[in-house]
Each structure stands twice: as structure tokens, then as C-alpha cells.
A = this chain, B = another copy of it.
Amino acid sequence: MAAISFEIKEKIPGKLGRTGVLSTLHGEIKTPAFVVVGTKATVKALSPEQVRDLDAQVVLGNTYHLYLQPGDELVRDAGGLREFMNWSGPTMTDSGGFQVFSLGVAFGSEVNKFSQKNSTKEAHKSNEQARLAKIDEDGVTFRSHIDGSEHRFTPERSIEIQHNIGADMIFAFDECTSPHAEYEYQTEAMERTHRWAKRSLDFHKNSGMSDTQALFGIVQGGRFEDLRKESAQVIGKMDFDGFGVGGSFEKEDIDTAVGWVNALLPEEKPRHLLGIGEPLDIFGGIENGVDLFDCVAPTRMARNGTLYTKDGRMNILNAKYVNDFLPIEGDCGCYTCAHYTRSYVTHLFRAKEMFAATLASIHNLAFIIGLVAKIREEIANGTFFELKESFLERYYRSKV
């Protein structure tokens, strides 16, 4: 008995995209779905009820963070992630790979998971911490970003930690490279990721946890078509419950790379695009066969006062909103837009009140979750491309 089952419903004609239902032991997920990130067993600034009221279907915790704080054994003793954080629905954890490497390997400044604004800071951090992670065939030794203490992840250790955290869906341990890595290193890292995938899978199956936790394998290969295809074939043949596509590519390469991979992965299993979730990426990913996305961007941007609207992003700290008594977006319908004005939200940000982050996060998550729900609907209606065109034309108009 597998921990999850996946049923495909409708497809985008001539494309890899589809809608479906992913059933877990703790509820169903209508796909495509945006996975809300709750890094340290809390979706920042929100209660689980506020998250649920957004029609969020699934929460992802970060293995690296939870391992360091409060510790995976503590989460296990608390009854697992769901029980610990009071989230009643399905949960996922990542493998910890991305965080271990992003704190260790010298990533370039344009890794697409970091916003352009933060690129210099992140690049600086990467340089500063480049000596903090050391990779070998068996695993990775790294230092905690909290206290500098030394730790080691191997594929087996990552899975063991994820067993302790106890999410419904977990990921094989992978090596997450820079999108700027050369072909030779990308090949080496990919091949190691394949060996680690097999070790992760073996450890998972031998632990007898397959009935309660689904394991996803991760496809790597960077920006190189032959590597992506090779990785999809190798990982796709392993007995995983689903697949992740490692997000180590330039923004403009996402669609193509995802398409290469998903054309080769077994059609009947769910696919997760790791760490990606901006509107353009969501349309491209779904069109190319992605079922699940997770991304911190909507909530991180929200906490900085950057809000999504159908006409593009709005910086609510702009002085013009001080006396603006309209909602953030008139036809939005989220809790924030139903009850508060731009004037109130900018006041809360200016006054450094915590409720600012709550209201902004609610709006941005409602925007993304609502957009993905709308995409599901339009795929079912056979009008995905009409939605894509009209949405993106309006959203990116200001940038053209």
C-alpha cells in the first residue's frame, strides 16, 4: 500500500500539463497545487487557520531548518510535523539539500530562487560561507548557520530525519548545484545525485516507512538538455512515488528544462518543481507538466511590502498609498482586501506592526493559490491558453 495515490483528470491538449487529485493519508490535494512553505513548522506570520482559510492544501517544512531547530527527534516526539504545528492537512519536507548547498557552495548571483534585489547580499553570503560545506561521495559536512556547529547529512541521514519529521511526502537527498556550474561539474553532481537517490530509496524502503510516507526522487542536470534528459531517465526508472525537478537553472530556462524532464518522467506519478512559484513560472511549469510548486517568494515579498496584483507587483510602502482607502485589489476577495485599505496596510508597515506581515502574506498567498485554482479550472474548461495569455499580458505589461 503506497502512502499516496495520484489520479490524472484533465490534460492541456498537445502539452504535458494536466489536472489531477493527489490523495494522501491526511487529505486530498487538487493539482496543480501551490505548496505553502512553513520553514520552521510555521507559515511565517500566519496561524494554521489563516492558512487553511486561504484554501492552501499542503504545507512544506524545511528539513535543514527543522533538523537544526528544534531538532527532528523533538518533532517526532511531538507527534510529527502536523501535530507539532497544528496543521490538519497534508505535509511535505524537502531533503535539506538545497539549504546545505546554498549555505556552502559558491552560488552565483543569479540563482533564480534569490530575487534580483537580494542577489548581491546572497552572493556575499555565499562567498563568506563557501568554506562551510564540504562534499564527498558519502555525503556533505556543513556548519550550522545558527551557531557554526558542524553537522553531516548523507542520503540515509536526510531520509532518517525526514522520517522523524513525519511528513506525508519527502524527498531524496540531492546535490543542488549553481546554474552557472560547468558541464563537467554538473555531470559529476548529477551522477552523485543519482547514486544518492538510490541510497535514499533503499534506506526508505528498508525502514518500512513506504506505507506512511511517499518518497520523491529529484531530477538534476542544470541547464544542459542531455543531462536533464539523462537524469529524468535514470531517476524516472527508480521506484519513487513522485518526482521533484531540482530548481537549479536560470529563470528563462525553466520552461524548457521542465519540459525536457517531464516528457520523460512516468506520466502517472506527481511532479514537484522545487522552490519555484512566481506567476510566469507557474504558467510555464503547469503547461510543461508540473503538478506541485513550493516557493517562499509570495510570503517573503509580502513581509517586505511587495504585493501581487493582476497588474503586476505593488510596493505598499509607496507614499501614494498613505491616503488610499481602496483595498489592495478591488476584485480580490481575500480577507485582507475584504476588510482593509491600502492606507491601513501601509500604516502597519510604517509603524512596524506585526499584523502588516499577516495581512500582506494573506493577500499574496491568496493571489497565488487563487491563480493556481483558476488554472485548474481553465484546464478543465479547455481554456488554459486564453487564461495564460490574458493574465501574463496584463501582469507583465508594466515591464514590457
Contact = CB atoms under 8 A, between A and B. Distances in A.
Interface of A: 40-42, 44-48, 50, 69-70, 74, 77-78, 84-86, 322-323, 325, 339-341, 343-344, 347-348, 350-351, 353-355, 357-358
B70 A325 contact: no
A74 B358 contact: no
A348 B43 CA distance: 11
Contacts of A351: 40, 42, 69-70
A41 to B, nearest CB: 7
Contact of A47 (B40, B341, B350, B355): B355
27 contacts: A40-B347, A40-B348, A40-B351, A41-B344, A42-B351, A42-B355, A44-B353, A44-B355, A45-B354, A45-B355, A47-B50, A47-B355, A47-B358, A48-B339, A69-B351, A74-B322, A74-B323, A74-B347, A77-B325, A78-B325, A78-B341, A78-B343, A78-B344, A84-B344, A86-B339, A86-B344, A354-B357
Contacts of A357: 354
Contacts of A340: 86
Contact of A344 (B85, B322, B353, B354): B85
A388 B172 CA distance: 59
Nearest to A361: B354
Contacts of A74: 322-323, 343, 347
Contact of A70 (B85, B322, B354): B322
A371 B223 CA distance: 63
A70 B340 CA distance: 15
